[in-house]
Amino acid sequence: MSHHNIMPEDCFTAFRESIDSISLPQKFTFPFYYKPHPLSLIAAKELQNHLLNQKDWEHDFGIVHYVEGSNIGKMFGVLVVQKTTGEIGYLSAFSGKLAGTNHLPGFVPPIYDLLNKDGFFKIEENNISEINHRIKALKKADDYLLAKNTYQQQIKDSEKELADFKLFMKLEKQQRKDKRNQAKDKLDPSVFNELEEVLKQESLKHQYDFKQLKKHWKELLGNSQKCVDKFAYEIENLKEERKLRSGLLQQKLFNQYQFLNIDLQTKGLNDIFKDTSQKIPPAGAGDCAAPKLLQYAFQHNLKPIAMAEFWWGQSPKSEIRTHGNFYPACRGKCEPILGHMLKGMLVDDNPIQAPTIDDHELKVVFEDEDILLVNKPTEFLSVPGKQTDDSVYSRIKEKYPNATGPLLVHRLDMSTSGLLLIAKNKEAHKVLQSQFINRTVNKRYIAVLDGTIKEDEGLIDLPLRVDLDDRPRQLVCYEHGKPAQTRWKVIERSDDQTRVQFFPLTGRTHQLRVHSAHAQGLNTPIVGDDLYGTMKNRLHLHAEFLEFTHPVTGKKMKIKVKPDF
């Protein structure tokens, strides 16, 4: 059955290709780190063919040429399912909305349809939108602008008039003083006393006039401010109402998102996220492909067998998404939701939960009384992680119980192999760390890139920050990112791969991986990069060389260890 001789409410698609020779997986796909099962690959290929050939709706994915705007490329998902009759097929979904809608033939529906014109969300969104228009209209109202301008002008006028009067009083006071001094010796006392009284009355009159002037302006300004406040108060009330309505709408919306699991237990978004670090659900939670697919399967008594998600179309500007590549589910939005939805199912183990190595694998490359250099294996932590304590740090601490201080001077990503510098005492650590901070340490990495780089060398300068919805992924971000620079040089090209040397000038998380894969960088991911490229046996990135000054002897140290790829 093709994608489209389907009843709108039936999203089950039978495989076109024969799948008789493929055995079903024992466990369901671990959604945050997986290699797509052969059935998922066939389902994805059939869905991709459908996307290329369907005529029911239009959306330019930016595959052939660049398209301006956001939401050009999309994440799609396939879920291989089994009916109670034993028939195997698959479900398809897209993340968010597509072609301006949440409902497209053959794709599973959203958990809640935000775009339904008659639904409470659209109705209340229109009410909030109406409040916005009223606020805008009030802010631009002629009466309001006139009242504001009048008030501002009166403030200026009052300040000037009061200042002028103060100056006048000061000059008058000086004149009275001069008159007094001149008259003191010339006039006889009784006449002088009369003059004194006249001058005193003059002074009191000025003070009285000043008070009256102040009073006059106070009344005038008070009335003007009341006019302005009347509008401002109305605007403030509307803003408060908008805030309240938005909050209630968000809560009501979260309550619509109720997720099932295989035992048909329901849990809402608020419940799911209340125990996470963010406490409240992030925007768009529940609209990704994975939750939609599982929800539909549970609602229609279909047994989930395997799942995969792929990116289709142009990459967003900040994230790295390659057309046709498979990607894990996002951590920020989907991890808490899928935690509930997959409960009660047999799921593949998390392969990166507890990477551990044999004792002999942490090879010491150089050692003396003060420092130590080891060759860290790939997929091994530098410092203890959330799920496992096993790391270079814990191994070294065990081996050298008398060592003082923080030990590790710098870190390497878990997937990166190569040289790690360790200080055996606090003093050495302090000296070495200042060398890293002042960038006097020379570092060189070797990487194999998944494609051919035309230029021979260059500098990449792309600021990076963490993707808050999908840690530990990094994004290129000119607004909030931290500066990140990498020099690079090609060593050799062969078999559609390029071996390069990297010289990082800064040390940001995943810097070399993002600078390689991002369209504004080398636009070619590192071989085996499961986050920004395609999964292989390992990430082909290795810290090959370190040059630094010995913290005690002051000698220049140059240490090199070759990669095993």
pLDDT digits 0-9 by tens, 334-351: 999 999 999 999 999 886
Residue 3 has pLDDT above 50, yes or no: no
Residue partners of 176: CB distance under 8 A and separation at least 6: 199, 202, 203
Distance from C-alpha of 127 to C-alpha of 124, rounded to nearest angstrom: 5
Q: Give SS3 for 222.
A: helix
How distant, in Å, are the alpha carbons of 118, 140, 239, 449 from that of 508? 48, 47, 41, 19
Residue 5 has pLDDT above 70, yes or no: no
Other Cβ atoms less than 10 A from the Cβ of 280: the count is 13
What is the tens place of the pLDDT at every residue in 502-515?
Answer: 999 998 999 999 99
Question: What φ, ψ does residue 160 adopt, rounded to 5°?
Answer: -65, -45
| Pairing state between β 88-94 and 13-14 | antiparallel
Residue 560 has pLDDT above 80, yes or no: yes
What interhelical angle do 120-140 and 189-256 show, nearest 10?
A: 160
Of 363, 420, 457, the C-alpha closest to 548 is 420
Distance from C-alpha of 511 to C-alpha of 474, rounded to nearest angstrom: 8
What is the tens place of the pLDDT at every residue in 392-402?
Answer: 999 999 888 98
Higher pLDDT residue, 120 or 214?
Answer: 214
Of 79, 78, 117, the C-alpha closest to 101 is 117
Catalytic, out of 10, 229, 370, 413: 413
What is the tens place of the pLDDT at every residue in 230-248?
Answer: 999 999 999 999 999 998 9
What is the separation, in whole angstroms, between the first and last Cα of the chain? 46
Higher pLDDT residue, 189 or 525?
Answer: 525
With cut-offs at 50, 70 and 90, classify the pLDDT of residue 49: very high
For residue 4, what pLDDT is reported? 39
With cut-offs at 50, 70 and 90, classify the pLDDT of residue 142: very high
For residue 402, what pLDDT is reported? 86
Residue 354 has pLDDT above 60, yes or no: no
How distant, in Å, are the alpha carbons of 160, 168, 172, 176, 205 from that of 164? 6, 6, 12, 18, 16
Question: What φ, ψ does residue 204 adopt, rounded to 5°?
Answer: -65, -40
Distance from C-alpha of 522 to C-alpha of 501, rounded to nearest angstrom: 13
User: Does 413 qualify as catalytic in the annotation?
Assistant: yes
Q: Is the peptide bond before 291 cis (omega within 30 degrees of 0)?
A: no
For residue 9, what pLDDT is reported? 61
Distance from C-alpha of 56 to C-alpha of 549, rounded to nearest angstrom: 66
For residue 1, what pLDDT is reported? 36
Residue 358 has pLDDT above 70, yes or no: no
What is the tens place of the pLDDT at every residue in 311-338?
Answer: 999 999 889 999 999 999 998 899 999 9
Distance from C-alpha of 291 to C-alpha of 293, rounded to nearest angstrom: 5
For residue 39, what pLDDT is reported? 98
Residue 359 has pLDDT above 60, yes or no: no
With cut-offs at 50, 70 and 90, classify the pLDDT of residue 8: very low
Higher pLDDT residue, 260 or 251?
Answer: 260
